[in-house]
Structure 1
Amino acid sequence: MTVRLVRQAASLLLSYPDADWPATLDLVAGSLAGARGPAPAALARFCADVADVPPLELGARYVATFDRDRRRTLHLTYYTDGDTRARGARLAGMKALYRRHGWNHEDAELPDFLPVMLEFAARVPDAGSELLAAHRPGLELLRLALRDAGSGYEAVIGAVCSTLPGASPRDREAARALARSGPPTETVGVEGHRR
């Protein structure tokens, strides 16, 4: 149950802090109050750290953190597919996965938006765990980029990573390789491209 709680709490904490943010934050903090373990404790600390930050200020931080730097995007297929056509196929596959498990994702966000993936993982733990594990290198890259930026959101991503099986050398290797090379880019159809 703690894994599902961490994933649902992280889903809410990684969503844009809109007008309902204070109520959402209270709900998450209250849900975490009785939970034990390092991941719930990290999320509770994050809640305490942002509790007195006005929603407009936190919204500006959120945009600066996640919307202005590709290394810190919450759209996880970007880490594996970048801006390529392969990303479209992966997004369609994620939507199909959600539907197969009875979850009709009607959100305005793409299915690879981490809060959407986390909500799915909280509702459908087995398939959700597999989905998150498949994107572990991207999650780890995001966590490291947030750490480098000195962002408090690192604690939230770290809590999510802790719900997955321990990092294997292959995951770390994949994260390092992706960090060195960056996400793939599409050059077909770009003016000036030569074969």
Structure 2
Amino acid sequence: MNRRTPGEHVAVTHQVASVLLGYPDERLYDARPVLAEAVTGLPDGPAATHLREFLAHLDVTPLPGLAAHYVEIFDFKRRCCPYLTYYTHGDTRKRGMALLRFKHAFRAAGFEISDGELPDHLAVVCELSGRGASREATRLLQEHRPGVELMLRALEAESSPYAHVVAAVLATLPPLGPRDRAALHKLAAEGPPPAEEVGLEPYGATTPQDFPGPLDGHLYAPLEGQLEDHR
């Protein structure tokens, strides 16, 4: 019997999304049964449907092909950037200040970001939710909702299966309001964000292969624990 609360369903959705949005390796494929069981426990709706669609793609896609697509999409398509502050600030000094907002939110929730890890990666924010700080993570997602929406549109334009994962995350948020809709149209009209290449020194550079977030083995433990608690 499913005894999860709506808030717990959000946390599970975000935790699964966090794992799926990390750079794919063999641990992701080994965790496929755990991820599928977690999604099976979600209520019917857009979030569960989108996550099932991505897992179905995972079933028929060899690891090298998915990894190559991940790099092509998230490294070389600027509009598909998974770092949320990039959409409003680009690689400028202002982005460094925006990143501090994320870092402070993580710290207030009792979490510390590893050295060199940018806290605004969508997978990292979703991980925060999956680890019990859904309120803080959801607030960050809502503050950067236009950027996430723009990312989804870009992924859909590229026919990327990762659009399903981003859509699942967005399905956990309230409907897009007039203010966010106006901000989305403004971002879309402005084109790629500016690049200044300064102001991010305290965070270092992060490449997909070095990204320490959702693909570390410890991230699968919360999902397994939630499955045990709510079977």
Normalised to the residue count of structure 2, the TM-score between the two structures is 0.77
> Which of residues 113, 126, 131 is equivalent to 2:135?
126
Q: Does 1:14 align with 2:15?
A: no
- Residue aligning to 1:31: 38
Q: Do the aligned residues in 1 keep the contact of 2:91 with 2:196 (CA within 8 Å)?
A: no
Q: Do the aligned residues in 1 keep the contact of 2:91 with 2:197 (CA within 8 Å)?
A: no
Distance 2:79 2:110 in 1: 32
Question: Over aligned residue pairs, what C-alpha RMSD do you find?
Answer: 1.8
Q: Deviations over 1:151-173 (max 9, x none)?
A: 11111111111111111121111
Structure 1: 4+ residue segments shifted above 4 A:
186-189
Q: Deviations over 1:41-97 (max 9, x none)?
A: 220121012212111111001111111011001011100111110101111221121
> Which of residues 68, 83, 94 is equivalent to 1:86?
94
Q: Do the aligned residues in 1 keep the contact of 2:92 with 2:197 (CA within 8 Å)?
A: no
| Pairing of 1:1-195 with structure 2 (within 5 A) | 1-38=8-45, 39-106=47-114, 108-122=116-130, 123-185=132-194
Q: Percent identity?
A: 40
| Pair 49,99 (structure 1): closer, same or farther in 2 beyond 3 Å | same
Counterpart residue identity of residue 9, structure 1: V
Q: Deviations over 1:153-194 (max 9, x none)?
A: 1111111111111111211111111011035425699xxxxx
Counterpart residue identity of residue 91, structure 2: D
Q: Secondary structure at the match of 2:24?
A: coil
Q: Do the aligned residues in 1 keep the contact of 2:79 with 2:192 (CA within 8 Å)?
A: no
Distance 1:186 1:31 in 2: 39
| Pair 3,176 (structure 1): closer, same or farther in 2 beyond 3 Å | same
Q: Secondary structure at the match of 1:16?
A: coil
Counterpart residue identity of residue 142, structure 1: M
- Residue aligning to 1:192: none
Q: Do the aligned residues in 2 keep the contact of 1:80 with 1:183 (CA within 8 Å)?
A: no
Q: Do the aligned residues in 2 keep the contact of 1:29 with 1:44 (CA within 8 Å)?
A: yes
Gaps of 5+ in 1: 190-195
Higher relative contact order (CA 8 A, sep 6+): 2
Distance 2:179 2:95 in 1: 22
